[in-house]
Amino acid sequence: MKTVREVMTRQPAVVTLLDNVYEVAVKMRDHNTGFMPVVDSEAGGRLIGVITDRDLVLRGYAQKHPGSTAVEAVMSSKVISIEESATVDEAAERMGSAQIRRLPVTRGNQLIGVVSLGDLAVKDIFADEAGEALSDISQRQLH
C-alpha cells in the first residue's frame, strides 16, 4: 500500500502570520493554487492554519477587509492534516469525511507537504479512492 509521502507535493508554497491577505492572493496566483498552509516561521515550519481562495473571498473581501488584513483574520486554524506515513486510503477517507480536497502532510507538527485529490487520482490505482472521496465531498455539499 502506498503512503501519503509517496504521492504528496513536497515543499509546498506557504504563508506566515507576517503575510497579509493581498500577499496570500499573490502567492496563490504565482503558484497556481487555491490553498496555502500557514506556518509559524519562528517554530521551524509548524503548521498552524490553512487559507483557501474561498476563505479569502468569504472571510476577507466579502466582509470588506482590505488587502492589508492579517492572515490570521481569514485563515482556518482548525487544521485537518495527516502524517506522512498514512496510507493513501486513509488520506482519501479523511478528505471525504472532512469534505476537503487538500490535506497538509506533517511529520510531527511540521509541514512537509500537501496531498490533494488530484495527487490521488493521478495514480491509476488510486482513482477509486479519489473518486469515492470526491463523491463524499460533493454529496455532503449538496445537502
| List of domains in the chain | 4-142 (3.10.580.10)
- Cell numbers for 87: 496510507
Kindly indicate the confidence band of residue 128, based on its pLDDT and cuts at 50, 70 and 90. Answer: low
- Residue 2 pLDDT exceeds 90: no
List pLDDT tens digits, range 99-122. Answer: 999 999 999 889 999 999 888 876
CA distance 133 to 40: 30
Q: What is the model's pLDDT at position 22?
A: 94
